[in-house]
Amino acid sequence: MDKYYYELTLKPNLYYELFLDLAGSLTNDAIEELDETIIIRSEENLDDVELGILEFAKELTSALNTDIFCATALEKKENQDWITLYQESVQPIKVGSFYIHPSWSKPANGMVNILIDPTLAFGSGHHETTNCCLKAIEKYVETGSTVADIGTGSGILAIAASKSGASVDICDTDIVAVDDAIKNFKANNATINHSWEGSANGTKKQYDVVIANIVADVLAMIASDLKKISKEDGIIILSGIMEQHKQKVLNKFKDCKIVEELQQNEWITLIVRKGK
């Protein structure tokens, strides 16, 4: 172990999930999320990662004509056993009947256990959007349901649906996410029916439940595809929506019935039913 390591702290003012995904694509090192702050630790200098994040913020500001910035702080610190410290900081979490825990924590008796190690860029269950989606899955996914998880990330939501008795398909535009999700399915003794690299337009099937925990702009962009792969009267779980962008998503689903709205802090999850 080197004597020193580098710690890069990122705090974006908007589009947190986009910055989180970018951070994961720029480094293979451990990423911690804490109070809407992204923390990367590495024994390699993180100058290039910091530069990439700052350039991304500039490009996003230009593309969206919105003032987007990301506060960064890069420090060189004396090395401790920070992996162990990080693991100790990650606590299991209960969401309804689901118990999400890392591999270094024991499963819980009487719960639906989901093992996810939160050392990569993808969801580990602690974020508000994942919480709300898990609640929606518990309520709307039934034994025998067909489910598509669009933008699966770690696969945590798809695993929850599978453990609820559903037949599950997954996809992500990032092949690393698909591969990571497949590994997590195996670690949980859960079954994937089908997986592919891409988005909702990569299948011609229709599903009882479609899950899309992404960001508002992408949800609006692929709204027609999400509706196309949903069965008539099917449920679509839309998440990753910041409060100020809710109407943007609702405008694209005017032809659907709003069944329920879940909110934690500034994050909103919409459950809609295809057709009026």
Q: What pTM, to 2 d.p., does this model score? A: 0.71
Residue count of the chain? 276
User: Residue 45 is encoded by which pair of tokens?
Assistant: 């200098």
Using DSSP bridges, classify how beta strands 207-213 and 230-242 pair: parallel, antiparallel or unpaired. Answer: parallel
Element (H, E) at 8: strand 4-12
Confidence of residue 132 (pLDDT cuts 50, 70, 90): very high
Domains and CATH numbers, the chain: 4-87 (3.30.70), 120-274 (3.40.50.150)
Cα 12 to Cα 18: distance, rounded to the nearest angstrom: 10
* 275 strand-pairing partners: 256
Q: For 234-250, how does the pLDDT look when each residue is reduced to its tens digit (9 = 90+)?
A: 999 999 999 999 999 99
Tell the residue number behind the tokens 């694509």, with chain if given.
25
Tell the residue number behind the tokens 């230009």, with chain if given.
62
Tell the residue number behind the tokens 């590495």, with chain if given.
42
Element (H, E) at 103: none
pLDDT at 194 over 80: yes
Q: For 5-26, how does the pLDDT look when each residue is reduced to its tens digit (9 = 90+)?
A: 899 999 999 999 899 989 988 9
